Structure 1
Amino acid sequence: MNAYRSKSLSFPWPPLLYSLAVIAALSLQRWYPLPLPFIWALVAWVVGALLTAIAVTLNVWAVKTLLDRRTTVLTQRCTAHLVTSGPFRFTRNPTYLGYTLLTASFGLLIGNLWFLVMAAVAAALTTLLVIRCEEMHLLSRFGCEFEFYCKRTRRWF
């Protein structure tokens, strides 16, 4: 049996990666602060609030779509169905996109620009450590159907 067929990951990496990104951003701000001018702080806060709303909505919508299709939300379990509806019509990874937007938006809300850097780092690591394994799992489970889905839907946005 194909090793990727039973499950995509053995460890839930995304929560760890984004938690470490938050810790790194807070630490870097303490050691190497990136000041944000006052006038831009207000603009950043408004953009951060908007991104927070988008990120939370995206994550809730993605989880609801997965549950409606009766497939797993957890990355270390075997998926039952290829979900291509809801937010999955626009991005193959709406939850990770939501995590990334939430990390960046938190930095904008509190004026810590390191969160933007760490959100990008977490997204890159998520692609390398998580998404590629998940894609192998989906390819081994759903074959051509998953390939067609990949051709018409972007990985991130």
Structure 2
Amino acid sequence: MESKPITQRGPGVIAPPPLLFLAPLLGGFLLDRLLPPPPPPLPRALRVAGLPLGAAGIGLAGWFVATMQRAGTPVDVTKPPTALVQDGPFRRTRNPGYVGMALGYLGLALAARGRWPLILLPGALTVVDRGVIQREERYLEQRFGADYTGYRQRVRRWL
């Protein structure tokens, strides 16, 4: 898809998305040690479910990176995209990298029985949605115009 010239280098996200997931995850594990939430602990079935969820997240994130690289457009959100990628995992979600990171976070938190990380996950998702995704969407609309608008109408933001 042909892109329109714009003055901005990138979408102006608030922070690198991996950091927006990693900080509450690690902070939550630290809180679990320093200020454990009251019982009950997570059921074993949830802990076991964490492994496939984490693996799915890692797999989706890898597929996302490979698809972006094949398209020749940067994965780094601070750099302007050179193409509007609509194949691979982008056929099902406009944000496969963030879905992958969220599944990885959830899987790790469940597998490690981290209750604080689970409590902090909705906040992390809200920050990613407002501080990254909404800014990227405005940027992509400006950069790719009707091509992005059509894509946005066909494919869901998350799942």
Give the structure 1 partner of residue 100 of structure 2: 98
Whether the aligned pair in 1 keeps the contact of 2:14 and 2:131 (CA below 8 Å) is no
Per-residue CA deviations over 1:111-150 (Å, capped at 9, x if unaligned) read 1122222222111100111111111111111101101111
Q: 1:152: how far off?
A: 1.1
**Structure 2 spans left out of the alignment, 5+ residues:** none
SS at match of 1:28: helix
Measured on the aligned residues, the alpha-carbon RMSD in Å equals: 1.9
SS at match of 2:12: coil
Figure out how many residues of one structure are paired with residues of the other and give that number: 154
Whether the aligned pair in 1 keeps the contact of 2:17 and 2:128 (CA below 8 Å) is yes
Q: Tell me, yes or no, if structure 1 residue 78 matches structure 2 residue 89.
A: no
Distance 2:39 2:59 in 1: 30
Q: Tell me, yes or no, if structure 1 residue 122 matches structure 2 residue 135.
A: no
Per-residue CA deviations over 1:21-48 (Å, capped at 9, x if unaligned) read 113312332313254547x22x122210
The structure 1 segments of at least 4 consecutive aligned residues displaced by more than 6 Å after TM superposition are: none
Give the structure 1 partner of residue 26 of structure 2: 23
More moved, 79-88 vs 26-35: 26-35
Identity among equivalent pairs (%): 31
Distance 2:123 2:14 in 1: 19
More moved, 134-143 vs 113-122: 113-122
How high is the TM-score relative to the length of structure 2? Answer: 0.88
How high is the TM-score relative to the length of structure 1? Answer: 0.89
Whether the aligned pair in 1 keeps the contact of 2:13 and 2:132 (CA below 8 Å) is no
Give the structure 1 partner of residue 37 of structure 2: 33
Distance 1:146 1:14 in 2: 21
Change (3 A) 1:154 1:140: same
Per-residue CA deviations over 1:53-86 (Å, capped at 9, x if unaligned) read 1101100000000000110100000000000111
**Structure 1 spans left out of the alignment, 5+ residues:** none
